[in-house]
Amino acid sequence: MPQAVVIIGVQWGDEGKGKIVDYYASGADMVARFQGGNNAGHTLVVDGKKTILHLIPSGILHPHAKCLIGSGVVVDPDNFLHEVDLLRKAGIQNLEDRIYLSDRCHLIVDYHKHLDAARESKKAGKIGTTKRGIGPAYEDRASRRGLRVADLYNETAFEEKLKENLAEKNFLLQEYYGVEAVSMESFMAKYREIAKKLKPFVRDVSAIIFQAIDDNKKILYEGAQGVLLDVDYGTYPYVTSSQTLPSQAALGLGARVPKDTLFVGVIKAYSTRVGEGPFPTELKDAFGDQLRESGSEYGATTGRPRRCGWLDLVAVKYAIQVSGIKNIAITKADVLSGISELKVCIGYDYQGKRLNTIPADSSILNQVTPIYETLPGWNEDLSKIRNPQDIPKNLQNYLKFIENFTGTHINLVSTGAGREAVIDIQKAF
Ligand code: GDP
Ligand code: IMO
Ligand code: MG
């Protein structure tokens, strides 16, 4: 059994990472987020009750699990405190003893959200972001203008940095985007209050996880978004602003991952994407609408309808190549039940030539025609199946095809949104 498991999304996000993390978390001492922010929407369904988490790690419904937010995560304190409040109201106890927020996390503050929204309101260059301020916050981190959690506790320095930042941000907001400026006074008053409320959660997360690894604790790392949204390796520029690859698990928490770590990529049995950007296997027809309805494909963060399409194994194989993933969890196989023939994309036709990977210039993907393999579907209801031997023959065939095409091993098949709906082929914890 590995000491740690890193879970990442292999497509364009929303693969079902939250469900898989919640499932594995029963055997973990700690669950840690290492990148992204509250652009994520991770859905857990336990005893029929749905919980959507944006920032708090998906282990929170297991009372024994500590939940860590590493320095690679950008934190909107409004969202953090709101989520904590919702969890408290749902009866989750001792949150201050269970949620550890790194003092090195960059804050998403009001002007980041205003800038994100203002940019998105312009037609040209629209990414279709979640408007949560993710991009502007990561920009400030890289350009060394960011405000970090630790800065909240050094008021003079905070005020000084803020003054400089506001001069620049307000110029952009007012003069370039023609929207309202952010006032220094109300900003300081708001963040003074936030500093007090966040304090019980703030920790040196790097030191905590370092010690936990040394103490042989079981650690579950929770990725957000997916490889195809990675800022370098995704379908740039239609990506998020963080690194979503498994190597980010170490960087975003400030400690190595244990030697004995299992890396698991989550793949939805078909494809979805929310926001703009190329999507070769998208189905813009009634069948795409049917997939959206049967898969409840509406954004967990913004409620936007997700674009739906066939499984794109060229994109998945590429994502596996750049992330180094060898083990897979497949979700939403149940959504495909009852479809007589299933298509999977095994290549792209680009101007008469075959393309077998995702090119750096992702605009090429808008001009390709997918080359499909057609596989027979299955009609069985998968919801009660727990034993790998009971997997219907045609689903076994579909899974084998994915394994062979991508050179991976399927460890788990998820057959419903609920925690219990899992065929655990090779146990992780
Ligand atoms: P994440 O962002 O990767 O955690 O995924 P989301 O939570 O945004 O979207 C996945 C959606 O599919 C959620 O509504 C889940 O409850 C649901 N889900 C996860 N796994 C399964 C599954 O195997 N079958 C079905 N039908 N739904 C699933
Ligand atoms: P989870 O963790 C799906 C998408 C947005 C947009 C692009 C950039 O739930 O899988 P951003 O707000 O990050 O600047 O938006 O990335 N996006 C996601 N799509 N799932 C997510 O997270 C996403 N997080 C960001 O829709 O296209
Ligand atoms: Mg999601």
CATH, residue 295? 3.90.170.10
Q: Do 218 and 240 fall within a single domain?
A: yes
Looking at residue 83, its amino acid is: E
Integer angstrom CA distances of residue 17 from 40, 66, 266: 10, 18, 6
Which of 42, 54, 112, 114 is an active site residue?
42
Q: Do 120 and 241 fall within a single domain?
A: no
Q: What is the pLDDT of residue 101?
A: 98
Supply the CATH number for residue 221's domain.
Answer: 3.40.440.10
Q: Do 193 and 207 fall within a single domain?
A: no
Q: How many residues does the chain have?
A: 429
The range of the structural domain enclosing residue 149 comes to 106-198
Residues with CB under 6 A from ligand 1: 9, 13-19, 41-43, 45, 296, 300, 331-332, 334-335, 414-417
Domain boundary (263, 286, 305) is at 263
- Preceding omega of 237 cis (within 30 degrees of 0): yes
Q: What is the pLDDT of residue 125?
A: 80
In a domain, 85, yes or no: yes
* Pairs from 403-408 (Cβ < 8 Å, separation ≥ 24): 403/328, 405/313, 405/317, 405/344, 405/346, 406/313, 406/316, 406/317, 406/320, 406/328, 407/317, 407/320, 407/326, 408/265, 408/320, 408/325, 408/326, 408/327, 408/328
Q: Do 72 and 165 fall within a single domain?
A: no
Q: Do 119 and 253 fall within a single domain?
A: no
In a domain, 429, yes or no: no
Active site annotation includes 14: yes
Structure tokens at 277: 């950007």
Residue 145 CA to ligand 3 centre (angstroms):
29
Q: What is the pLDDT of residue 190?
A: 96
Domain boundary (217, 233, 263) is at 263
Which residue has the CA at smallest separation from atom 26 of ligand 1? 416
Whether residue 273 contacts residue 306, with contact meaning beta carbons closer than 8 Å, is answered with yes
Tens of pLDDT along the chain (429 residues) come to: 999 999 999 999 999 999 999 999 999 999 999 999 999 999 999 999 999 999 999 999 999 999 999 999 999 999 999 999 999 999 999 999 999 999 999 999 999 999 999 999 987 889 999 999 999 999 999 999 999 999 999 999 999 999 999 999 999 999 999 999 999 999 999 999 999 999 999 999 999 999 999 999 999 999 999 999 999 999 999 999 999 999 999 999 999 999 999 999 999 999 999 999 999 999 999 999 999 999 999 999 899 999 999 999 999 999 999 999 999 999 999 999 999 999 999 999 999 999 999 999 999 999 999 999 999 999 999 999 999 999 999 999 999 999 999 999 999 999 999 999 999 999 998
Q: Do 302 and 370 fall within a single domain?
A: yes
- As for how many domains the chain has, the answer is 3
Q: Do 25 and 86 fall within a single domain?
A: yes
Angle at 413 between CA 129 and CA 409, to 5 degrees: 95
In a domain, 408, yes or no: yes
In a domain, 209, yes or no: yes
In a domain, 252, yes or no: yes
Q: Do 212 and 172 fall within a single domain?
A: no
Q: What are the residues facing 9 on neighbouring strands?
A: 266
In a domain, 193, yes or no: yes
Q: What is the pLDDT of residue 92?
A: 96
Domain boundary (198, 213, 231) is at 198
Q: Do 162 and 213 fall within a single domain?
A: no
Q: Do 332 and 373 fall within a single domain?
A: yes
Q: What is the pLDDT of residue 32?
A: 98
Q: What is the pLDDT of residue 201?
A: 98
Which one of the ligands is nearest to 306 CA? Answer: 2
Q: Do 59 and 124 fall within a single domain?
A: no
Q: Is 135 in the pocket of ligand 2 (CB under 6 A)?
A: yes
Residue 352 CA to ligand 1 centre (angstroms):
37
In a domain, 94, yes or no: yes
In a domain, 164, yes or no: yes
Active site annotation includes 334: no
Q: How far apart are CA 20 and CA 42, in angstroms?
A: 10
Supply the CATH number for residue 147's domain.
Answer: 1.10.300.10
Q: Do 114 and 97 fall within a single domain?
A: no
